[in-house]
Chains A and B, each alone.
Chain A
Amino acid sequence: MKPSDTFRIVSATVLTQARLFFRNSQEWTRVLMMPLQALVAMAVLVHAGRADLAGYALTAALLFTIGDMGFFVGSEVVAGDRSQQVLELLTAAPTPYFVVLITRTLFVAAIGLIGFAESWLIARFAFGVPVHHPWLLTGALLATVFAAGATAVLTAALFSLARSTRTLQNAVNGPFYLLGGVLVPAAFLPAWLKAFSPFVFFFWAASLVRDSFAVPEPTNIALRLGALAGLGVAGALVGGIVLGRMLDHLRQNGRLGLA
């Protein structure tokens, strides 16, 4: 594929996903409700006299939204294509389905940033939380969106085979949030559970985003951003392999077009 072709396909895919997304008000739920979720976490901290930890509440709000968008909405992409009978056409087209899928999951994860903007407005104007390291925050946000969107390729591929997508969609993000220390840092988990945390991209995302709200100069930024992006790449690679296998399997069974 020439670069200009890739660009054309990617922009067309983004446009399609945007249309699908904005037409479906259901998928807005998580973005709209995010301030309320931030408010709950903020209320607990403020009530305990720890308004200084407000950054934790914001970090959680951000990662809940991006994570929910990626896992909940992004994971439905393949299953949706299948039930709407377009998966056959997409896989028959010369563009690898992987390119189309990852473009869409990345777009959906990026929508989660709107939830963050809302939470930030609340934090800034209702609770007066400043961002101390805006560049770190920007970098961490972009890397998080990348990791979430890339990981969603894996979950979307896995879920599309399952009979009940909803069941899995519901179950997957909770353990990730807990292990990743999205609200309370993973250091507060029991030791045996903590050992798994570095393998969850939320772990790196949460620590970076929290640091950008804290006064001290953050350390090891490159390493941590690298780990976050690396987990994203790993998710996308494994997702690509699983997706290929899954499509082959469906092709062999003649079930590509069946819901």
Chain B
Amino acid sequence: MRHALRIYRHGLLVGARDFAIFWNWKTWCGGWMLRILTNVFVWVLLGRLLGSPEKLHYLIVGFAATAGVGTFAVAAASWDRLDGTYPLLVVAPGSIAPALFGRMSVWMFGWIASAFVTFFIVTLAFQWTFSASSAAITLAIIVLICVTTFFLTVAVGALASLAPRIRNMCSFLVTLVIMAFCGVSVPVSFWPGWLQVLCNLLPVTHGLGAIRLVLGEAGNGAEILRGVGLEAVVGAGWLGLSLLIVDRFAEAGRADGSIELV
């Protein structure tokens, strides 16, 4: 465990370098946040078009709490393959998981920052105020959503790294699926029954539901805790699955000699 943490820390440092290649604080604030905020406003304005404050609030919560969530990480899972460092990670005695988690998770911290900033700015822009305790709980659940989504991206990223050419497509797909099916734009109940089952197995769905309860008037503590608990369980499931598959995929590559193939 101690070793795993050390490897994770070094992976995170590599990730920090990746992050710095894309963004410095000026381009992150001016470029990235501009993109995220304008995108959120494009969608949130639908609430204004529909003329319903209720819809407006629904869209604000959905799009602001998930702003930027899911971006980059799936693609980052393939970068070791493209950099040629993947075979070294595979032959190293430890599991590949901590190194992979480290390099990818830097993007998760980016999501948390994006969602926090967006939530603050968008609610301010639409003059929506709520108590400090509601805000604090909301931010805490946003962190949870980012962590659970991160575990999903590790699993998807591990799959995508088998065919690194489609990594960006997978990354885009993850963010779109979250936007469509996890209660961001419309309630999960809008979709057909079989799809609802899948929605409930995805991260974001339950956590976002809990945030809606926190910010709404009708929410009671037990229901909120249930949402948070389910979100954590779903996240744990994806964590387990990703731990299960990352080393298998690496081993399979070792067996058929494809670890150096990109």
Chain A residues with CB under 8 Å of chain B are 25-26, 28-30, 32-33, 36-37, 39-41, 43-45, 47-48, 50, 53, 56, 164, 166-168, 170-171, 173-175, 177-178, 182-185, 188-189
Contact = CB atoms under 8 A, between A and B. Distances in A.
Contacts of A178: 38, 41-42
A36 B176 contact: yes
A50 to B, nearest CB: 6
A60 B187 CA distance: 21
Interface of B: 21-23, 27, 30-32, 34-39, 41-43, 45-46, 48-50, 52, 55, 59, 165-166, 168-169, 172-173, 176-177, 179-180, 185-187, 190
A171 B30 contact: yes
29 contacts: A29-B168, A29-B169, A29-B172, A33-B176, A36-B173, A36-B180, A37-B176, A40-B179, A41-B46, A44-B55, A44-B185, A47-B186, A47-B190, A48-B55, A53-B49, A167-B22, A170-B32, A171-B27, A171-B34, A171-B35, A174-B34, A174-B36, A175-B34, A177-B38, A177-B39, A183-B43, A184-B45, A188-B49, A189-B45
A168 B41 CA distance: 19
A28 B165 CA distance: 11
Contacts of B41: 178
Contacts of A32: 169
Given A167-B31, A171-B35, A184-B45, A26 B169 contact: yes
Contacts of B42: 174, 177-178, 182-184
Given A32-B169, A48-B55, A167 B46 contact: no
Contacts of B32: 167, 170-171
B52 A48 contact: yes
A25 B45 contact: no
Nearest to A162: B27
Contacts of B39: 174, 177
A125 B115 CA distance: 36
Contacts of B176: 33, 36-37, 40
A182 B27 CA distance: 25
B117 to A, nearest CB: 15
Contact of B27 (A29, A53, A167): A167
Contact of B22 (A28, A164, A174, A189): A164
A185 B49 CA distance: 8
A128 B59 CA distance: 25
B30 A50 contact: no
A189 B165 CA distance: 39
B43 to A, nearest CB: 7
Nearest to A29: B169
Contact of A43 (B23, B35, B48, B186): B186
Given A33-B172, A33-B176, A37-B176, A183 B45 contact: yes
Nearest to B180: A40
A50 B45 contact: no
A50 B48 CA distance: 13
